[in-house]
Structure 1
Amino acid sequence: MNIKQVEDYEAMSIAGAQLIMETVKRLENPVLGLATGSTPEGVYKQLIDAYQRQQVSFRETTTFNLDEYVGLAGEDPNSYRYFMDDKFFDHIDINKQQTFVPNGKADDLQQECEQYEQRLKDHQEIDLQVLGIGVNGHIGFNEPGTSFKTRTHVVNLAPSTREANARFFNSMQEVPEQAITMGIATIMKSEKIVLLVSGEKKARALDQLLHGDVTEEFPASILQTHDNVQIIADKAALSKVRV
């Protein structure tokens, strides 16, 4: 794993956007794996700005999102489909038909997972996968204890994960208890992985990722075995990392 230390969140966002733009410009039909939440939001702002400056086009790009809440329709402001449209897709020239997010309202969730996995295979997997890391080491919504062999599946969200996301809802009771997520094995098939880490609250998790054992109790640890991982972390996130 390569580590790029940057000054702060904005610098992390700029560096992350630069890697994505390099991939989009280099490949004829790039496939991006995207994440939601506050960590990558700055990256999307940078990419929108670059598009508006005519520095990059996403016309030939296909995207797959890591996850979606079970029970939320795409037009729900708390859904990840809504987040991606609002924070990124609506502001660039991407073909919306080529932006894939799991359907959290599917009648048959298992079938939805299988179909999502098949769509990924149809696109020859992901060229660049953007990830964040949870304080408990989750990647996507793969919580501690998730098998490294998992493909796209339904997961029960850990209390700490629901609490971390509760700020986006009116109350804790409104936070969904389940989500559809790309599995760890699915994520690991990506050609390149970019892990964005910002803030002191992620510092212990980053230290464990870099220096801990590879164990299913800390899902992100599997990244130690991938041969092309770029970590972009600000000073606060690196503040507790052992030298």
Structure 2
Amino acid sequence: MTLQPIVRPDADAVGDVVATTILERMATAGDRPFLLGCPSGRTAMPVYRALARHAAHGVDLSRMVIVMMDDYVESGALRRVAPELSYSCLGFAERQIVAPIGQPIEIWAPDPADPSRYDEVIDAAGGIDLFLLATGAGDGHIAFNQPGTPRDARTHVTPLGVATRRDNMETFPEFTTLDMVPTRGVTVGVDTIAALSREVIMIVCGSHKNKAFARIARAEAYEPDWPATIVVECKNPTLIADRSAALLEK
């Protein structure tokens, strides 16, 4: 089954739609913690900004738990890079998601020293209520799942390919040369996303994501050479894009 995309004029409009969906899902989840799966980087920033605006207008987001997708791993050790570093995904969550909201929100992140524990914790909590997804422009990576990732992959440590690392040079301008980008990451697996989420939203914005949008929009099942296609095998999937990504006239 292919996905029928929702297209909005620009990334900010996409962010508003997705943030509204999050609030609607939280409203029907009762008083329990609401697990929101989150990517770091540029793609979901309009969503995070919209959530911060809602919080500034008095919306209580304190029941939210931010479940990060991945993080870079230190060279020569099974440790996440220090959160103080600008490219730390845990640090990104602290600085770019939680701090602007200004409420006490818990953050979870995978531990490269014990990756499988992450799936156990998510499963024990009842799964991720809503997972925001993003796709690599050059190789279709999702989180740090690289092309060729098997369908049954759970949270794991993985080498990062050149295309993924080049994509991340765009996200973090301090990476001025490829050899500055870490070569390993810890990541939820494609099956972590598919099996442990109640709902997913794939966000694709910008003309540089034309190829990614086309691949995902026509996918009927998981394609290992483009891991972001796992979205079509998830429960309650949505594909939302801006006009630039969807190659539509303004």
TM-score (norm 2): 0.87
2:126 alignment partner, SS class: coil
1:39 alignment partner, SS class: coil
Q: CA deviation at 1:40?
A: 0.5
The corresponding residue for 1:61 is 64
Query: Separation in 1 of the partners of 2:240 and 2:230?
Result: 17
- How many residues are treated as equivalent by the alignment? 232
The corresponding residue for 2:217 is 210
Is 2:192 the counterpart of 1:183?
Answer: no
The corresponding residue for 1:49 is 53
Q: CA deviation at 1:225?
A: 2.4
The corresponding residue for 1:85 is 94
Alignment of 1:128-147 (within 5 A): 128-135=130-137, 136-147=139-150
The change in CA–CA distance for 1:17 and 1:237 in structure 2 (over 3 A counts) is same
Q: CA deviation at 1:182?
A: 0.4
Query: Separation in 1 of the partners of 2:131 and 2:65?
Result: 12
1:187-233: per-residue Cα shift (whole Å, max 9, x none)?
00210001111011111111111224632111122222234111110
Query: Separation in 2 of the partners of 1:91 and 1:219?
Result: 31
The corresponding residue for 1:39 is 43
Residue type of the alignment partner of 1:193: V
Query: Separation in 2 of the partners of 1:219 and 1:94?
Result: 34
- Percent identity (aligned): 28
Q: CA deviation at 1:162?
A: 0.5
Q: CA deviation at 1:2?
A: 4.1
Query: Separation in 2 of the partners of 1:94 and 1:217?
Result: 40
Q: CA deviation at 1:131?
A: 0.4
The corresponding residue for 1:106 is none
The corresponding residue for 2:122 is 120
Contact 1:58 1:93 in 2 (8 A): no
Which one of 211, 222, 229 corresponds to residue 221 of structure 1?
229
Residue type of the alignment partner of 1:191: R
Contact 1:110 1:153 in 2 (8 A): no
Contact 2:71 2:110 in 1 (8 A): yes
Cα RMSD (Å)? 1.7
Alignment of 1:165-204 (within 5 A): 165-167=168-170, 168=172, 169-171=174-176, 172-189=178-195, 190-204=197-211
Query: Separation in 2 of the partners of 1:81 and 1:110?
Result: 15
The corresponding residue for 1:75 is 84
The corresponding residue for 1:14 is 16
Is 2:152 the counterpart of 1:149?
Answer: yes
The change in CA–CA distance for 1:227 and 1:119 in structure 2 (over 3 A counts) is closer
Please identify, of 17-26 and 210-219, the stretch whose mean Cα deviation from structure 2 is larger: 210-219
Residue type of the alignment partner of 1:11: A
Query: Separation in 2 of the partners of 1:155 and 1:176?
Result: 11
Please identify, of 117-126 and 189-198, the stretch whose mean Cα deviation from structure 2 is larger: 117-126
Query: Separation in 2 of the partners of 1:234 and 1:4?
Result: 8
Contact 1:35 1:140 in 2 (8 A): yes
Q: CA deviation at 1:50?
A: 0.5
Query: Separation in 2 of the partners of 1:213 and 1:22?
Result: 28
Structure 1's unaligned 5+ residue stretches are 104-108
1:132-165: per-residue Cα shift (whole Å, max 9, x none)?
1112211111111001101100111110110111
Q: CA deviation at 1:102?
A: 2.4
TM-score (norm 1): 0.89
Query: Separation in 1 of the partners of 2:103 and 2:69?
Result: 18
